[in-house]
Amino acid sequence: MRDDADFTRRAADLLAWYDANAREMPWRVPPADRTAGARPDPYAVWLSEVMLQQTTVAAVRGYFQRFMARWPDVAALAAAEDGEVMAEWAGLGYYARARNLLKCARVVVAEHDGRFPDTRSALQALPGIGPYTAAAIAAIAFDRSEVVVDGNVERVMARLHDHRAPLPRAKPVLTEMAAALTPDARPGDYAQAVMDLGATICTPKKPACGICPWCAPCAARAAGSAADLPAKTPKKAKPVRHGRAYVARRRDGAYLLERRPERGLLGGMLGWPGSEWTDAQLPPEAPPVAAPWRAVAGEARHTFTHFHLRLRIYVADLALDADPGTGVFIPAQEFRPSDMPTVMRKVFDLARDGFDDPE
DNA sequence: TACGCGTGGCA
DNA sequence: TTGCCAAGCGT
């Protein structure tokens, strides 16, 4: 049983810390403005929360600004072309998020009159919005007292209670702990306060317990175990896979690219034609078109979530009437390496050295 | 339930 | 250089 006075003070202490230390972010309404009645734009909250899934604030800032400038509301985004959105998302990773982002925008326009639903359960029914994101939007954009549990909250709760069972098994228990602390007042600011605490003080390594607003009640701080929590089940080692990538440039400067299938790795993104990626040293030759391919020195190295990849790279100059096969020629003035996933950009950086007249 | 799914920064 | 880590979701 919780002590109501302690419970109330816990949330109040954190909110007071947040009022003085909230990080400034382009999608956030500062606590002083929020208290004065300002409300965040649900579209901006949703967009930022999806971008922030498993992604650092530093990486998200620029993407968020560009998306908001280009598609300022959900109707604009819903009307965008798939390829334009995928290109704007390129480099941010976890591309299923971008595909679901578009699906979600179109559902909101088609079935919710262009306005985001304001309850956790209705939000969670939308594509790409799971338990965390639904609770976060409901709390931050709609002032609902929902229990918001992300990696920061899990870490803070594990330390506060010195809970040593490993994740992900411990998640239900940590969620209960978070629920017991979530206040009815200022739920959005509270959710953002715990996340700011986890990001700036209760950090994964070397937590700054000396300046933490929850230092006194923290059980892990007392036990000396804070830096070791939360415990996590060990991860599997990443295998190394090998493949070949083919960078063909037509005489007019157009590049031969392929749109990857919607499902799976880098789904829906532009990329260079290539072989399968296999555990073997190198898969058999699989050039996309007949051409005098030249091997480029070195290899592109890239690490995905669950494997390391090494790509041998081949380049060729093609005639103006060359057959694109299953690919598509992108004119030189439309080709931007930044429209492609990072691994494909690495391939291009090496390939351009292999052309006689690298631009 | 466990796995597939990106990337960049850091020690 | 290598491994770990960051505001999870879908299947």
Show which of A173, A208, A228 is a domain's final residue: A228
* Cβ–Cβ under 8 Å, residues A139 and A188: yes
**What domain range includes position A110?**
4-228
Chain C nucleotides close to protein (CB under 7 A) are 3-10
- Closest residue by Cα to residue A79 from A41, A110, A47, A117: A110
* Residue A235, in any domain of the structure: no
Amino acid A3: pLDDT: 56
| A318 has pLDDT over 70 | yes
Show which of A228, A253, A275 is a domain's final residue: A228
Q: What angle do CA A64, A68, A71 make, to 5 degrees?
A: 130
* Residue A305, in any domain of the structure: yes
Q: What is the distance between the alpha carbons of residues A248 and A317, in angstroms, rounded to a whole number?
A: 6
Q: What is the distance between the alpha carbons of residues A188 and A40, in angstroms, rounded to a whole number?
A: 10
Per the structure, the residue whose CA is closest to nucleotide B2 at C1' is A168
The torsion angle over the Cα atoms of residues A108, A109, A115 and A116, rounded to 10 degrees, is 10
Q: What is the CATH number of the domain that holds A348?
A: 3.90.79.10
| A39 has pLDDT over 50 | yes
* Residue A143, in any domain of the structure: yes
Is residue A235 very low, low, confident or very high in pLDDT (cuts 50, 70, 90)? confident
Indicate if A215 and A172 belong to the same structural domain: yes
- How large is the average pLDDT for residues A310-331? 95
Indicate if A215 and A286 belong to the same structural domain: no
Indicate if A249 and A210 belong to the same structural domain: no
- Is A49 designated active site? yes
- Contact between the CB of A194 and strand B at under 7 Å: no
* Residue A115, in any domain of the structure: yes
* Phi (first) and psi of residue A324, to 5 degrees: -75, -5
Indicate if A63 and A128 belong to the same structural domain: yes
| A210 has pLDDT over 90 | yes
Is residue A1 very low, low, confident or very high in pLDDT (cuts 50, 70, 90)? very low
Is residue A197 classed exposed, middle or buried when 0-12, 13-18 and 19+ CB atoms within 10 A define those classes? buried
Indicate if A255 and A285 belong to the same structural domain: yes
- Write down which residues 266-295 in A have CB closer than 7 A to strand C: none
Q: What is the CATH number of the domain that holds A64?
A: 1.10.340.30
- Write down which residues 174-193 in A have CB closer than 7 A to strand C: 192
CA of A301 to C1' of B11 (A): 21
Indicate if A259 and A195 belong to the same structural domain: no
Q: Which of A49, A146, A258, A299 is catalytic?
A: A49
Is residue A331 classed exposed, middle or buried when 0-12, 13-18 and 19+ CB atoms within 10 A define those classes? exposed
Q: What is the distance between the alpha carbons of residues A136 and A149, in angstroms, rounded to a whole number?
A: 8
- Give the pLDDT confidence of A342-355 residue by residue, as tens digits: 999 999 999 998 77
Number of domains, chain A: 2
| A96 has pLDDT over 80 | yes
- How large is the average pLDDT for residues A215-244? 93
SS3 state of residue A153: helix
Residue type, A277: W
Indicate if A48 and A185 belong to the same structural domain: yes
- Contact between the CB of A55 and strand C at under 7 Å: yes
Q: What is the DSSP letter of A335?
A: -
Per the structure, the residue whose CA is closest to nucleotide B11 at C1' is A205
Indicate if A260 and A220 belong to the same structural domain: no
- A6 half-sphere exposure, CB direction, 13 A CA radius: 8
Question: Which residue in the block uniquely carries the two structure tokens 């990849």?
Answer: A309
